[in-house]
Amino acid sequence: MRRVHNVRMGERLELHPENPQLRLLRVAAECLARGNVIAYPTDSCYALGCALGAKEAMERIQALRQTRKGHFFTVVCRDLSEIARFALVENWQYRLLRSFTPGPYVFVLRATRQVPRRLLDARRRTVGIRVPDHVVVRALLREYPEPMLSTTLQLPGEAVPLTDGREIEERIGHALDLVLDAGNCGIEPSTIVDLSGDAPRLLRAGKGDPRPFQ
């Protein structure tokens, strides 16, 4: 039987950015499975994540970021094969997704009926999908059997996201269950592209090259 690591509130785990330790990834996966909140690195900046079905964890993230009820969350998937579970994808959309994932992009697509109502844009019935290109989160998603619910780790009133694991631990560790520290990963958030219409529409220019969508 695998030994379970007992995580203390707000614990920071240092992971190698290119060869993350399997033992620590399994700790993080167990943390997510228990309905907890983690901070983790992406290919754009640090983010907050929890299990899709963890409503209380989602509310904790909303309270931490002081966002409105309809705040935009993203479903973080390990690869394109998972996207069809959450989004309706036509051929032209699939070609774009295949070209730009994994990468620092969030794509807004029409949601399937499997997407919980609390994750939808209530008026348009769309959902944000991301397949990140960062070794740590991709390795984590191999250990954790489900996609994650996620949002940028940007605190209220601050112009840029937090990007240092120690600072994250010091400032908001009390409000998190786990911090995955893989070093600095930047302060520029992902590019957001709306694919729910007849043609791509750029919603936010970020780290991903926005020019193909302008």
Strands (E), 95-177: 105-110, 126-130, 148-152
pTM of the model: 0.92
| 180 sits in which H/E element | strand 178-181
Residue-range domain boundaries for the chain: 11-213
The residue whose two tokens read 């994932």 is 101
- Report the pLDDT value the prediction gives residue 1, as an integer from 0 to 100: 33
CA distance 77 to 24: 20
Average pLDDT, consecutive stretches of 10 residues, N- to C-terminus, the chain (214 residues): 56 95 97 97 96 93 82 90 92 96 96 83 86 96 94 92 93 95 93 95 94 89
The predicted pLDDT at position 5 comes to 56
CATH of domain 11-213: 3.90.870.10
